[in-house]
Amino acid sequence: MKKNLVRSFIEGIYDNHTGERYSTILSYFYPEVITNLLLYSLPIFVDAYFIGSLSTTAYATSGATNTLLHYFVKFAEAFSVVTVILTGQLNGSNDRHGAGRVLTTAFWVSCFVGITVGVLLYLGAPLIYALYGVPADMALLGIGYLRLRAIGLFLMFVYQACIGFLRGVKNTKMPMVTFVAGTIVFIIFDYLLIFGAWGFPALGLQGSALASIIQYAVATGFVLIYLLAGPYTRPYAIRLFSDLRDLRFVKNILSLSWPIILDKAAIPLSYIWLVKIMNPMGTNVVAALCVVRNMESFAFLPAIAFAQVITFLVSNDIGAGNWRGVKSNIKKVIFAAMCMMLIILLVFMLIPRHIVQLFDRQDNFTAFAVHVFPLVSILMFCDLFQVILAGALRGAANVKIVMIVRMAVLLVYFVPISFFLSRLPLQDDIKFILIYSSFYLGNAFMSYGYLYQFRSDRWKKYAGVSDD
The string of DSSP letters for 74-90 reads HHHHHHHHHHHHHHHHH
Burial 214-250 (b: 16+ CB within 10 A, else e): bbbbbbbebbbebbeeeebeeebbbeeeebeeebebe
Residue 59: the pLDDT is: 78
Return the number of other C-beta atoms located less than 10 Å from residue 389's C-beta.
Answer: 27
User: Quick one: average pLDDT of 212-226?
Assistant: 88
Q: What is the pLDDT of residues 405-425, one digit of tens each?
A: 888 888 899 999 999 998 888
Residue 465 has pLDDT above 60, yes or no: no
User: Quick one: average pLDDT of 126-140?
Assistant: 76
pTM for this predicted structure: 0.67
Q: How confident is the model at residue 4 (pLDDT cuts 50, 70, 90)?
A: low
- Spatial distance between the Cα atoms of 292 and 312, rounded to a whole number of angstroms: 31
**Counting beta carbons within 10 angstroms of the beta carbon of residue 196, is it exposed (0 to 12), middle (13 to 18) or buried (19 or more)?**
middle
Q: Are 291 and 357 in contact (CB under 8 A)?
A: no
Residue 192: the pLDDT is: 93
User: Quick one: average pLDDT of 38-59?
Assistant: 76
